[in-house]
Chain A
Amino acid sequence: MNTDKRFIELWNDYLEGELDESGIAELQALVARDERLLQMAVDSYQMHRLLGLIAQDSVSRQDAFVRETLARLPADDARFVHGVMQHIPQGTPRKGMTARRLLTKWPFAVAAAAVVVSIASVGFWRPKAEPEIVRITELNGAVQWTGGGGQVVADLHVGSSLPGGTVESLSADSWTDLKFRDGSTVTVSGQSVLTISERQQKELHLRTGNLSANIVPQPDGKPLLIHTPTARLEVLGTQLNVEAEPASTMLSVNRGRVRVTRLADGSVAEVPAAHQVVASIDRGAELKVIPRPRPVTTWQSDLPTDGLYGTWLPKPGDSKGSLRNAPMLWGCPEKPVTLYLVSLSVSRNRPAPVLLTAGGKFRIRGRIESAGTVYFGLTTIRVNGGFAGKFLVERRFDVVQETGESLDIELRLEDFRPQEQELAEKSPEKFPASPVGLELFDWWCCTVNEDAGLEITHVELDTGISEPNIPSDG
């Protein structure tokens, strides 16, 4: 057998992993004697690797690689916070707007946010090849868009026009308003994934999360379709809110009428204004249209159930316990801020919304170990759906005793100011200056950079007004 033939034999076996140690030694000796064979070997090896690369390539392979790589990045502040927020329990998709939302545009983080916003407005990538379907009219927090070609655009800004694709509101604090060419608007908030298309008709795929939509009358026979994991909604012209989870879809109609098809069994229901329905994956559950529950004006915490962030400390021999603040890093890497946070859900497992009314006040009991300023905050939504802003108030506590002191305070709703003052000034109709008249979504308190050892045992909202004056839609 001549040298070339023997080399090819050995080399093929080598590439197939079938060459033993003596074979490798023989191969090594062959290529050592003949530079031409060495070059052939390396050419073949590189071709072998490129062919393997092409064969493996797929979108799912790339997705997996990207996911694994991002998961291995060192935990800087923003990543840590995002990770924490991802793990905060969410009873319903509405809980998407929870603790982190409360923390956005924190006074200490305004500078960092401003930098991000200013960068986003420079040199923005704008899709040109496909026709515009929607335009971004408002934007807050981490929102990204993935187009048909799979390109992910993280730096979106107000005024961006988007063709068909997927809008992802990535964290609890993020939200965006999208406007169709016919004037219909959709707001996506919290951790939500929405795919938009418009060919024969408008179609939205809400994979998870929540949206509020204000849809102008659509052409005959071409209703706007909203697809969720468990339901199909046909919308002619209406104002509605949708919350999608893997196992259920909650639809609340404020104006107009929506036709709902439950995917599990094909059952259909018409939902009129001021009504709601839950389309569950559970065939046994009835697809029942009910009037929207009247809001209540009082609320009392159930800490083990309501706790979104903090450390639950049960009391031995007692059903009660306390929720102790837990640290959360926040801010840009240059100016990290540690929040010592307790956060509670208000709407979890409560069918009736909690309306904030004039004269309402919070009573808070607990304990604080060392002196410090405590920030108390609220996240609110409008009565007919949609994020309405965050409000906060601070109180200074001086602690004399080494063992800490009990905390028992009252905070009037009138004391709370908008956390996002700029938004309140810019769009007062959307982000009111007062929480009165809004629904309470969640409640939180924290200290900044100093662990004051805050423990909460009880939070209660009370009011002297028994019959609320519900604001009209708008």
Chain B
Amino acid sequence: MMTRKVSKTDSSLEDAIRSVRSGNTGAFEVVVRQCERPLRAWLAVQAPPGVDVDEVAQRSFIAAFARLRDYEPGTDFAAWLFTIARFQLKTEVSRLRRITDYHVRYAPDLLLRELERRSSEPPELQQIRLDHLQACLGQLGEHLHRFITWRYAEEIPLDEMAARSGRSVAAVKKQLWHLRHKLHECVQARMATEGEPS
């Protein structure tokens, strides 16, 4: 399940935070477990190529742990954590940009700028998108879903995917493009009509 959302009404999270602030470091595990999925989801879509999402997520948790005294109990912990994560991501992207040939070798500059622009969207949007995406994946026919499984779950090479499906590598690439596009449209449509999944 990737649907757990963090909200300021989550009393178990607040209890854990209070416990950590009282010296029970072990209770921070509750914080990490509850927040890591939304945080990684947000980072995954905001981070440009070359950024290690798990590394930035871990750094964000460590920074949050170190500054936990600054968090005001009863307010929105997720928002506070995402503010830290945004700063951590910015730091990492700045580091990458200083690599001389980063733009040439890894990421077109415009992609970075657009990602940065979108990072101002509310972080919880990505979790909602993720939930809708799971629903959209469930609607895909098996003949299409297998491409997603091969590419993302099994991570098999494109030429093997081509051999398995009896198509050319170029056709497989095109198929993946269409699938991503179709899933994006599905998610957008669900966002427009349903809003946040129940």
The residues of A with any CB-CB pair to B shorter than 8 Å are: 8-9, 11-13, 16, 21, 24-25, 27-28, 31-32, 38-55, 57, 62, 65-66, 68-70, 72-74, 76-79, 82, 112, 115-116, 119-120, 122-125, 142, 144, 150-155, 170, 331-334
Contacts and interface: CB of A to CB of B under 8 A. Distances in A.
Interface string B102-118: 01111011110011001
A38 B180 CA distance: 15
B154 to A, nearest CB: 8
B12 A69 contact: no
B8 to A, nearest CB: 14
A308 B136 CA distance: 57
Task: Identify the interface centre among A21, A69, A112: most chain B CB within 10 Å of its CB.
Answer: A69
Contact of B26 (A9, A68, A142): A142
B52 interface: no
A433 to B, nearest CB: 29
B192 interface: no
Nearest to B26: A142
Given A44-B180, A77-B23, A50 B29 contact: no
Nearest to B151: A51
A65 B30 contact: no
B124 interface: no
Nearest to B58: A69
Nearest to B188: A43
A53 B29 contact: no
Interface string B16-39: 101100111111111011001100
Given A38-B110, A82-B26, A154-B26, A47 B183 contact: yes
A76 to B, nearest CB: 6
Nearest to A32: B110
B33 A66 contact: yes
B108 A27 contact: yes
Contact of A116 (B12, B24, B57, B173): B24
B111 A65 contact: no
A279 to B, nearest CB: 31
B114 A42 contact: yes
Given A38-B110, A73-B28, A78-B25, A54 B137 contact: yes
Given A54-B133, A74-B66, A45 B19 contact: no
A46 B130 CA distance: 11
Given A24-B105, A70-B28, A70-B29, A154 B44 contact: no
Task: Identify the interface centre among B23, B33, B105, B180: most chain A CB within 10 Å of its CB.
Answer: B23
Contact of A12 (B15, B129, B176): B176
28 contacts: A12-B174, A25-B104, A27-B108, A28-B109, A39-B114, A42-B111, A43-B181, A44-B181, A45-B115, A51-B183, A53-B40, A54-B2, A57-B37, A62-B36, A65-B40, A66-B32, A66-B36, A69-B32, A69-B36, A69-B58, A70-B32, A72-B62, A77-B23, A82-B26, A142-B24, A153-B12, A154-B16, A170-B26
Contact of A154 (B27, B36, B129): B27
A161 to B, nearest CB: 16
A446 to B, nearest CB: 20
A424 to B, nearest CB: 25
B115 A54 contact: no
Contacts of A170: 26
Contact of B62 (A73, A124, A152): A73
B187 to A, nearest CB: 8
A304 to B, nearest CB: 32
A332 B33 contact: no
Contacts of B18: 119
B62 A11 contact: no
B100 interface: no
Contacts of B62: 69, 72-74
B198 to A, nearest CB: 18
